[in-house]
Amino acid sequence: DVKVTQSSRYLVKRTGEKVFLECVQDMDHENMFWYRQDPGLGLRLIYFSYDVKMKEKGDIPEGYSVSREKKERFSLILESASTNQTSMYLCASSQQGPVYEQYFGPGTRLTVT
């Protein structure tokens, strides 16, 4: 079974702090993704990566950056956290085809005060 883990289930940070969210997958998947989930808005893609050291912007990249130094690990970085970044953050991974089914981690609920 695919396993995607995230570093924290709950996180509370102060405005202006630098925040790191980490995601690790154990299935040698090439593709990794970061989403945020907000009530009424569903899941929205922040960034994704198709390979080590490679990244592409999703639909809402503003205020975020990412890092992928190893194939199994994909980090989401909030350079200066703001209250409007309070959300549920979900990481996912998938193969590079022919089947692109995405598998999700348990999520990190981030509160910025």
Partner 1 sequence: GIQVEQSPPDLILQEGANSTLRCNFSDSVNNLQWFHQNPWGQLINLFYIPSGTKQNGRLSATTVATERYSLLYISSSQTTDSGVYFCAVEILTGGGNKLTFGTGTQLKVEL
- Among 112, 53, 36, 50, which Cα is nearest to 79's? 112
The residue range among 11-19, 60-68, 70-78, 96-104 that interacts with partner 1, by the rule CB under 8 A, is 96-104
Query: Closer CB to partner 1, residue 80 or residue 96?
Result: 96
Query: Closer CB to partner 1, residue 28 or residue 40?
Result: 40
**In terms of C-beta density within 10 A (0-12 exposed, 13-18 middle, 19 or more buried), how is residue 72 classed?**
middle
Tokens 């953050």: give the residue: 89
Q: Is the peptide bond before 61 cis (omega within 30 degrees of 0)?
A: no
| Residue 85 engages partner 1 in binding (rule: CB under 8 A) | no
Positions in 53-72 near partner 1 (CB under 8 A): 56, 58-59
| Residue 50 engages partner 1 in binding (rule: CB under 8 A) | yes
Q: Using DSSP bridges, classify how beta strands 56-57 and 10-13 pair: parallel, antiparallel or unpaired.
A: unpaired
Q: Which chain residues interact with partner 1 by CB under 8 A?
A: 30-31, 33, 40-45, 48, 50-51, 56, 58-59, 88, 90, 92, 94, 96-97, 99-104, 106-107, 109
